[in-house]
């Protein structure tokens, strides 16, 4: 479950309490919680983010990070990866419309997103598990399927978090390009799931969400090679 912190932060202290409660509920039920916090700062500050989001009240199993400040951003999170129970997803090729303003720039002829993916591969190599994937993964949007396929082909050890399915426009055949042998990626959908009940009175919210999730799963499975 990918939990986007911004919507909770917008509600102030009560929102942050709800964020903590959401993470506890997910993890207490045996689920995996991805704290979508997109943190990225200098080393001392990043160290506090690591403590805040991989332990304590806001503890998640994975968190998302922005790599713009370089290795200083991710280094404080690495001791948590050493324990073998935590992971990171670092932004590479994001799903938003203006992502290309920076990520498609080509210093030396290679797009920035591939430079970043290579950094993540190197940083995460010591944390490669038995399945061949690193605990330091990459965020690559399904709204750019060609770039997604390019990253997957070039970096088979990167576990991918793939946002953009549903409301943002990515389709099953797009996100299916992230998988290797039916694994190696997790596809994120938010609005298309939590809004599945809209215009459909008479059935409980949770039942609509479950039906939408099952439909999404089958659509993606049908497109896997």
**DSSP character for 58?**
G
* Helix (H), strand (E) counts: the chain: 11, 7
- Report yes or no: 147 and 162 within 8 Å, Cβ to Cβ: no
**CA–CA distance, 93 with 149 (Å, rounded to integer):** 11
Torsion of CA 43, 95, 155, 85, to 10 degrees: 50
Three-state DSSP state, 101: helix
Q: Is 38 a catalytic residue?
A: yes
Given the residues 38, 86, 171, 200, select the one marked as catalytic: 38
**CA–CA distance, 79 with 146 (Å, rounded to integer):** 34
Tokens of 88: 């990171």
- Report yes or no: 76 and 82 within 8 Å, Cβ to Cβ: no
**DSSP character for 220?**
H
Strand 87-93 and strand 34-39: pairing?
unpaired
Active site residue ranges: 38
């Amino acid at each position: 479950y990918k939990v986007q912190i911004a919507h909770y932060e917008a509600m102030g202290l009560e929102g942050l309490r709800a964020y903590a409660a959401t993470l506890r509920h997910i993890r207490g039920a045996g689920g995996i919680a991805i704290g979508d916090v997109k943190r990225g700062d200098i080393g001392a500050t990043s160290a506090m983010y690591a403590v805040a989001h991989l332990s304590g009240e806001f503890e998640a199993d994975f968190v998302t990070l922005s790599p713009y400040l370089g290795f200083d951003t991710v280094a404080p999170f690495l001791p948590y990866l050493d324990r073998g129970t935590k992971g990171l997803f670092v932004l590479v090729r994001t799903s938003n419309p203006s992502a290309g303003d920076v990520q498609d720039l080509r210093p030396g002829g290679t797009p920035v997103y591939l430079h970043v993916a290579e950094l993540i591969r190197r940083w995460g190599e010591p944390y490669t598990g038995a399945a061949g994937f690193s605990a330091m993964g990459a965020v690559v949007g399904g709204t750019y399927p060609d770039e997604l396929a390019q990253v997957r082909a070039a970096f088979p050890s990167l576990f991918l978090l793939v946002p953009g399915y549903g409301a943002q426009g990515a389709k099953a055949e797009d996100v299916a390009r992230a998988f290797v042998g039916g694994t190696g990626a997790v596809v994120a959908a938010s609005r298309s799931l939590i809004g599945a009940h809209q215009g459909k009175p008479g059935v409980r919210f949770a039942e609509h969400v479950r039906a939408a999730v099952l439909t999404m799963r089958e659509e993606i499975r049908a497109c896997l090679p």
